[in-house]
Structure 1
Amino acid sequence: MLELKFNKRSYSENVVRQALYWMSHISSWQLTDNEAEWIIEFNKNSTDVVHEFNRLLNDYLLREKLDKKTRIIRESITLAVLESVERKLS
């Protein structure tokens, strides 16, 4: 059994759960938490598990940061396209 703990201020629940989803083929896992930490128990105790989970955490953390930084511009583009379509249909 391998137990990993991560600070909730560093990783959102969404990031942790998305990374865990992709870990299911490597090891079964259980997610619990307390006020400050995400606590993950993997059935397989291996450095490969730790490395892969950290890789996935970093990947989804980066995706989350990019999503936050680009949300306004993506919404603006979507609005402009919808307004253009509406004008053409009128």
Structure 2
Amino acid sequence: MKLSFAAMLLLCLLLSFSFFQLSSAASGFCSSKCANRCSKAGRKDRCLKLCGICCSKCKCVPSGTYGNKHECPCYRDLKNSKGKGKCP
């Protein structure tokens, strides 16, 4: 009984570590893509925040600093509370 509990605990720790690694990798992806996307923005901190939110939901960021939203339909279609495009 104690051995199976210890084995389950070890398995849970290994799984949680692998999920942490995946989320860290996704975070690095989003931060680098959003840094490129927002490099010419006038309000860079706001652009980076919104781009990060959109990237984490959509798992993609359009190339370039403006436009090209056809490359990522999810990113293009996210709307704010006023019905306007959310993602920079």
Q: TM-score, normalised by structure 1?
A: 0.34
- Tell me: higher relative CO, structure 1 or 2? Use CA pairs within 8 A at least 6 residues apart: 1
Greater strand percent: which structure?
1
Greater helix percent: which structure?
2
